[in-house]
């Protein structure tokens, strides 16, 4: 059997008495696209934080490409190809698209003065920036000031910034939150067209959007994994309907947009 590219084993993250993530195990094959679903407070973002190194788990192991990264810094993980977007927008509104991208590229460079450097990106970095903008549907928008963009375009820019180091794992935390239906459709297209060898984990509140984009689904509740299944199994899973949707399947499908 081929080895998983990402493997979490019995991850527990505790905040005081609360186990925000409680003994979660999960593994992904290279190129797999996984949705993590679940109600607010289920522990999805905390699980992302354990994968990126924003927090270290109280127990358990994170293995990435065959090596243990459980207590590795986020910066080192980023260098090993682990990238993420944030649930809350994380852009410099007064700066241009190109300047935000430069900061993202610089954030990955080794120098601690990188963020303040006046020097230009290397040719390789510039090529990565151009490729990341193209993949995110923002080619040609380099000079645009971020705060003048629509919210949807800003979320696209966040995807571009996460793609700039050519990651091998991309974690998207509610990328479609707050978007209009047409902006959602556009973002779904962008995610669908990402390179097939990029391993993807998508936290998304919009279940129809998520299920249209992934190969497999993990459903969390109260810090634990309650279901792991294919998108088609999730659509008809009674437990998921109960805890996550809280309304009958037919009603949900009747007003479901198609992505």
Ligand X SMILES: Nc1ncnc2c1ncn2[C@@H]1O[C@H](COP(=O)(O)OP(=O)(O)O)[C@@H](O)[C@H]1O
Interface ranges with ligand X (CB under 6 A): 15, 18, 20, 38, 40-46
For strand 6-15 and strand 59-64, is the pairing parallel, antiparallel, or unpaired?
antiparallel
| Nearest CB to ligand X, comparing residues 46 and 154 | 46
**Closest distance of CB 44 from ligand X, Å:** 3
Tell whether the torsion through CA atoms of 152, 156, 159 and 161 is positive or negative.
negative
By CB under 5 A, name the binding residues for Mg ion. Answer: 44-45, 87
Q: Is 183 exposed, middle or buried (0-12, 13-18, 19+ CB in 10 A)?
A: middle
**Closest distance of CB 43 from ligand X, Å:** 4
Long-range contacts of 124-131 (CB under 8 A, 24+ apart): 125/164, 128/164, 128/165, 128/166, 129/98, 129/101, 129/102, 129/105, 129/164, 131/163, 131/166
| Nearest CB to ligand X, comparing residues 31 and 74 | 74
Strand, coil or helix: 118: coil
**Closest distance of CB 13 from Mg ion, Å:** 13
**Closest distance of CB 45 from ligand X, Å:** 3
Nearest to 176 by CA among 144, 149, 151, 200: 151
- 20 touches, from Mg ion, ligand X, none (C-beta below 5 to 8 Å by class): ligand X
Query: Nearest to Mg ion by Cβ — which residue?
Result: 45
| Nearest CB to ligand X, comparing residues 80 and 205 | 205
Alpha carbon of residue 80 to chain centroid: 16
- 41 touches, from Mg ion, ligand X, none (C-beta below 5 to 8 Å by class): ligand X
**Closest distance of CB 75 from ligand X, Å:** 20
| Nearest CB to ligand X, comparing residues 103 and 245 | 245
| Nearest CB to ligand X, comparing residues 40 and 254 | 40
């Amino acid at each position: 059997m081929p080895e998983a590219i990402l493997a979490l084993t019995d991850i527990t993250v505790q905040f005081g008495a609360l186990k925000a993530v409680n003994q979660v195990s999960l593994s992904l094959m290279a190129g797999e696209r996984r949705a993590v679903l679940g109600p607010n407070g289920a522990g999805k973002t905390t699980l992302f934080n354990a994968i990126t190194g924003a927090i270290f788990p109280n127990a358990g192991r994170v293995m990435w490409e065959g090596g243990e990264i459980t207590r590795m810094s986020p910066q080192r993980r980023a260098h090993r190809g682990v990238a993420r977007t944030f649930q809350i927008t994380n852009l410099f509104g007064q700066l241009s698209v190109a300047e935000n991208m430069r900061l993202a590229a610089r954030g990955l460079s080794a120098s601690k003065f990188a963020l303040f450097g006046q020097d230009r990106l290397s040719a390789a970095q510039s090529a990565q920036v151009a490729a990341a903008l193209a993949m995110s549907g923002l080619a040609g928008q380099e000079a645009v000031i971020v705060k003048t963009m629509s919210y949807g375009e800003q979320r696209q820019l966040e995807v571009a910034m996460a793609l700039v180091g050519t990651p091998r794992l991309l974690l998207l935390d509610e990328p479609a939150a707050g978007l209009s239906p047409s902006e959602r459709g556009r973002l779904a297209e962008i995610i669908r067209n990402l390179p097939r060898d990029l391993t993807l984990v998508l936290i998304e509140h919009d279940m129809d959007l998520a299920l249209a984009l992934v190969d497999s689904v993990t459903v969390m509740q109260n810090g634990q994994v309650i279901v792991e299944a294919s998108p088609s199994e999730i659509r008809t899973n009674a437990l998921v309907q109960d805890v996550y949707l809280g309304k009958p399947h037919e009603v949900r499908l009747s007003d479901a947009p198609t992505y």
